[in-house]
Amino acid sequence: HQLLIDLSQNLRAVISQRLLKSVEGKRVPAVEVMLKSAYISDLIEKREIDLLKDAIAQGRELGMQTFDQSLYDLVKSGRITEEEALEHADSRTNLALKFRLESGGALGDDSDLRLKELERGNFL
């Protein structure tokens, strides 16, 4: 337990990237960023690691983002295709739903996913 306490107090950031094929055929990074915050530190200290992804998704205003949020932004900026994003998504279903909702598409079989979570940035 002391290790988690030390980690929660000393961690500054965790940054991870995946290199994806851009529309030009080059490589472009999709980046997940977790920054230290009181909430992130508390989750680590309490061993609530399964809640970190949601905390990252909700921390965009602090500079954090999940891989799926990064993928979404890369598609919207025209740097990668939707297909490339979906192939590398942590939650293909939620990311596909986000794209469909934005384009005015129907919910179809994914209607059990909560729209409110998507609007808040929860792509779990």
Domain ranges of the chain: 2-120
Mean pLDDT in residue range 54-65: 96
Which of these, 50, 51, 72, lies nearest to 121 by C-alpha position?
A: 72
* Residue 87 clears pLDDT 50, i.e. is over it: yes
- Tell me the percentage of the chain whose pLDDT exceeds 90: 77
Give dist(CA 51, CA 114) in Å, integer. Answer: 17
Helix pair angle (2-10, 38-45), 10° resolution: 170
Query: Of all helices (H) and strands (E), which one includes residue 115?
Result: helix 115-120
User: Fold for domain 2-120?
Assistant: Rossmann fold (3.40.50)
Mean pLDDT in residue range 23-41: 97
* Residue 6 clears pLDDT 60, i.e. is over it: yes
Reported confidence tier of residue 80, pLDDT bands at 50, 70, 90: very high
pLDDT at 119: 53
Give dist(CA 55, CA 72) in Å, integer. Answer: 18
* Residue 56 clears pLDDT 80, i.e. is over it: yes
